Structure 1
Amino acid sequence: MKHSTEPAALVRRLWRAAIDADEYTAAGIVHTALAEGVDEETLLLEVIAPVQEMVGVEWAADRISVAQEHAATAVNERIVASLAHRQGGGPRPTHRGRVTVSCVDGDWHAFPARLLAEVLSLRGWRVDYLGAQTPTPHMVAHLHLTNPDAVLLSGSIPTHLPAAHAAITACRAIGVPVLVGGRAFGPGGRWARRLGADRWAADARGAAAVLDAGVPRPVPATGRQAVDDLPHLADQEYTLVLQSRPRLVKHTLTELEDRFPALRGYGDEQRERTAEDLAHIVGFLATALYVDDADLFTTFLVWTADILQARHVPAHSLVAALDILADELHDFPRARRLTRLGASALGARPAASVLGPASESATGPESAPEAGSAPVPVPGAPS
């Protein structure tokens, strides 16, 4: 039986194989489509990427387990590798120049960067792919050795934006332009520009187009500090809130037990998970202080409320946690304002989860993921 090679049909079939952890069937679907004339870039961006996006969405909606998410992601990663090294494919020609593709230090979500590296390689670039959470000093040392035309920096989780800022500043200080992408940089790349990136791209094809147009090399500069780009950091609220995170988490957890006595019956693992959730809240609060943008914090809170609702956990506990944090942050006016805005955003949130009903993207073409969209890296999700 001959199957359709339309991307939407391939997405549905690959999804079923990936979620069943059936690597061999998944690889067969992709390689058969390749043999039947579907080009590799289409497979990467319009088939594999949407399936990976579905993995994130379905995990967030609590419709697949962490183990299924890990297994499906591993299947997709191995398929991408098999395409890059398929028998008889031979080395890809390089004629455009040389670039470095890397994830922000601390960011383990390497799948979007890997897809980007493969697309640029297909288009004739020599790509040095450094993978997940590359420490900035090691990346800069690599740039000194290779002198690439540009660095392409992928960021998936906003709490790594300060590390991204440090990497952007360090690369530009040695005259290497930086192109960034990924959901960490906000809608339309709003935080990319704030952090001094030379360019931003929404997806792999957009990044390739930016490189084709050319990115001028910056004039090397030394001695720049974060406050030079972000004057609001002079109030030290970001630094002090981040340094206070362990204390804030401990205090908030204790206060929540007083307000919700059922928490006292939590086991060690439940308490640890609750503390991790509170640490994420404080981390996103600190990052919103860093970029001076309330939307970063409120968007995370609404997403978290949806995650909790999908797992049948009352989201009103978030509002209580924010009230406790606001009282504790009485000496930090910007942080206190953000907690109040966060509580308001949660109060205005619709009763129904924005995650919506069970996705039909694995069964019907009308709801297939947008072609070429990047995989969804969700804050706090398993990598």
Structure 2
Amino acid sequence: MSTQTTTPSTTGLAATRRQLWAALEARDEPAAAAAVLDAHDTGVPAEDLLLDVIGPAQARIGAEWAAGRIGVAQEHAATAIQDRVVAALAHRAADARGPRTETGATPRRVTVACVDGEWHALPARLLAEVLRGRGFSVDYLGAHVPTPHLIAHLHETGTDAVALSASLPLRLPTAHAAITAVQAIGLPVLVGGAAFGPDGRYARLLGADGWAPDARAAARLLTDGPPRPRTARPAPAGDLPHLADQEFTLVTRARTQLVRHVLQGLDASVPAMAAYTDAQRERTAEDIAHIVDFLAASLYTDDPELFTGFTTWTAAILQARGVPGTALAAALDLLADAQHDFPRARAHLAAGRRALVRVPAPPAPGPRS
């Protein structure tokens, strides 16, 4: 049995994480910046601060939102503070490195971007700064980069490789389009982010040239040299032969009608809906739309586990909001009723329905004081 030792470095990082989190909770941007920059001034490497302090703080922001302990506005405010802290740290680290020493070798250029529709930009930003710190020349394009604009940028620059980020699996179809378009002009594509699965399964499915589970792994891959682009590629229709049944396309096109169908059905099957305010009904419609979107993503990848993971996560979110679990089950049943001509969609919905049984019930309320 091994014993875990605590080093001054890990102790310092833990203290900085606590200071940063306290500042984010208070929406105190100067304190947040001071926590990170003071640690850097004492010798903590910028990469450690980016990935072991700022990154975990962002994950905690998401977890707090999911648990219903903070609202969307507070989540956005904390994320905006984090983004500005990253910028301040990047400038401080660049000043500490000083001007680049001419070695005769041109630094490798990497373009880092979020795929079209992906607004969670901080993971890509962290990768961009880690790569800069390791001597790469980086074009960071930010959130929600439409594929035609990405390709236009690549034609105008001498990029050696492209790193694409996506956090939500519902972005996988647009990620696939971006991967294919970049490879078509002869550049390799490295992908990362939660959308591609914890083991990178969707990166392989969509034909990416490389996948990394985190920024350090991505930096190591790119330091060893950009992944080699494939020389022979199947035709797009052959990449994902299951799409020939058109279920993904038809479910995507029917999104508005499906949301309306489920909402009307819930009015009849969930009595509590009668007392919903306009804001609650709007939130319910948004939840149903997300269910349809994730169903479409699971059809695109032909992986029911993608949908079951989303349904169990949604069930936990709804519990935190005080929404009865029967509402989600009823929504899945109503969607299945509307998919009578789509066997894959019905199978994925049935898997999601079965997965709800495994979601633990909320704890019983304790005695009132």
Aligned residue number for residue 29 of structure 1 = 35
Aligned residue number for residue 98 of structure 1 = 109
Deviation per residue, 1:241-284 (Å, 9 max, x gap): 11111111101110111111331332322211111100100100
- Provide the rounded CA distance (Å) in 1 between the counterparts of 2:84 and 2:273: 42
- Provide the rounded CA distance (Å) in 2 between the counterparts of 1:4 and 1:145: 43
1:107-256 equivalences in 2 (<5 Å): 107-218=118-229, 224-225=235-236, 227-256=237-266
**1:67 Cα deviation (Å)?**
2.3
Q: Report the TM-score, using the length of structure 1 for normalisation.
A: 0.87
Moved more, 341-350 or 228-237: 341-350
- Provide the rounded CA distance (Å) in 1 between the counterparts of 2:40 and 2:71: 31
Rate the CA distance shift 1:243–1:334 in 2: closer, same or farther, 3 A: same
Aligned residue number for residue 83 of structure 2 = 77
Aligned residue number for residue 4 of structure 2 = none
Rate the CA distance shift 1:91–1:70 in 2: closer, same or farther, 3 A: farther
Aligned residue number for residue 350 of structure 1 = 360
Aligned residue number for residue 380 of structure 1 = none
Q: Report the 3-state secondary structure (helix = DSSP H, G, I; strand = E; otherwise coil) of the residue aligned with 2:48.
A: helix
285, 292, 317: which is aligned to 1:307?
A: 317
Aligned residue number for residue 375 of structure 1 = none
- Provide the rounded CA distance (Å) in 2 between the counterparts of 1:233 and 1:217: 27
**1:19 Cα deviation (Å)?**
1.3
Name the % identity.
Answer: 60
Q: Report the 3-state secondary structure (helix = DSSP H, G, I; strand = E; otherwise coil) of the residue aligned with 1:124.
A: coil
The gaps in structure 2 that reach 5 residues or longer are 1-8, 364-369
35, 59, 65: which is aligned to 2:71?
A: 65
* Kept in 2: contact 1:175–1:217 (CA 8 A): no
1:288 aligns with 2:302: no
**1:177 Cα deviation (Å)?**
0.3
1:43 aligns with 2:19: no
* Kept in 2: contact 1:289–1:335 (CA 8 A): yes
Q: Report the 3-state secondary structure (helix = DSSP H, G, I; strand = E; otherwise coil) of the residue aligned with 2:199.
A: helix
Pairwise CA RMSD: 2.0
Q: Report the 3-state secondary structure (helix = DSSP H, G, I; strand = E; otherwise coil) of the residue aligned with 2:229.
A: coil
- Provide the rounded CA distance (Å) in 2 between the counterparts of 1:170 and 1:4: 42
**1:78 Cα deviation (Å)?**
0.6
* Kept in 2: contact 1:194–1:291 (CA 8 A): yes
314, 318, 321: which is aligned to 2:331?
A: 321
For residue 240 of structure 2, what is the amino acid of its counterpart? Answer: L
Aligned residue number for residue 337 of structure 1 = 347
Rate the CA distance shift 1:18–1:268 in 2: closer, same or farther, 3 A: same
**1:66 Cα deviation (Å)?**
2.0
Q: Report the TM-score, using the length of structure 2 for normalisation.
A: 0.91
Rate the CA distance shift 1:261–1:351 in 2: closer, same or farther, 3 A: closer
50, 55, 59: which is aligned to 2:61?
A: 55
* Kept in 2: contact 1:92–1:122 (CA 8 A): no
Q: Report the 3-state secondary structure (helix = DSSP H, G, I; strand = E; otherwise coil) of the residue aligned with 1:153.
A: strand
**1:302 Cα deviation (Å)?**
0.3
278, 283, 286: which is aligned to 1:268?
A: 278
Deviation per residue, 1:281-310 (Å, 9 max, x gap): 010001100000001100000000000111
**1:144 Cα deviation (Å)?**
1.1
For residue 150 of structure 2, what is the amino acid of its counterpart? Answer: M
Moved more, 148-157 or 206-215: 206-215
**1:91 Cα deviation (Å)?**
5.3
* Kept in 1: contact 2:189–2:227 (CA 8 A): no
Q: Report the 3-state secondary structure (helix = DSSP H, G, I; strand = E; otherwise coil) of the residue aligned with 2:113.
A: strand
- Provide the rounded CA distance (Å) in 1 between the counterparts of 2:349 and 2:10: 51
**1:5 Cα deviation (Å)?**
6.3
The gaps in structure 1 that reach 5 residues or longer are 354-383
**1:99 Cα deviation (Å)?**
0.5
- Provide the rounded CA distance (Å) in 2 between the counterparts of 1:315 and 1:194: 33
Rate the CA distance shift 1:179–1:122 in 2: closer, same or farther, 3 A: same
- Provide the rounded CA distance (Å) in 2 between the counterparts of 1:317 and 1:342: 14
**1:88 Cα deviation (Å)?**
4.0
- Provide the rounded CA distance (Å) in 1 between the counterparts of 2:289 and 2:71: 23
- Provide the rounded CA distance (Å) in 1 between the counterparts of 2:166 and 2:250: 24
4+ long deviations beyond 6 Å: 220-223
Rate the CA distance shift 1:322–1:37 in 2: closer, same or farther, 3 A: same
Aligned residue number for residue 361 of structure 1 = none
**1:76 Cα deviation (Å)?**
0.9
Deviation per residue, 1:194-218 (Å, 9 max, x gap): 0000000011100011112223442
- Provide the rounded CA distance (Å) in 1 between the counterparts of 2:100 and 2:299: 44
- Provide the rounded CA distance (Å) in 2 between the counterparts of 1:252 and 1:238: 18
For residue 249 of structure 2, what is the amino acid of its counterpart? Answer: T
5, 15, 39: which is aligned to 1:9?
A: 15
Moved more, 35-44 or 111-120: 35-44
**1:352 Cα deviation (Å)?**
4.5
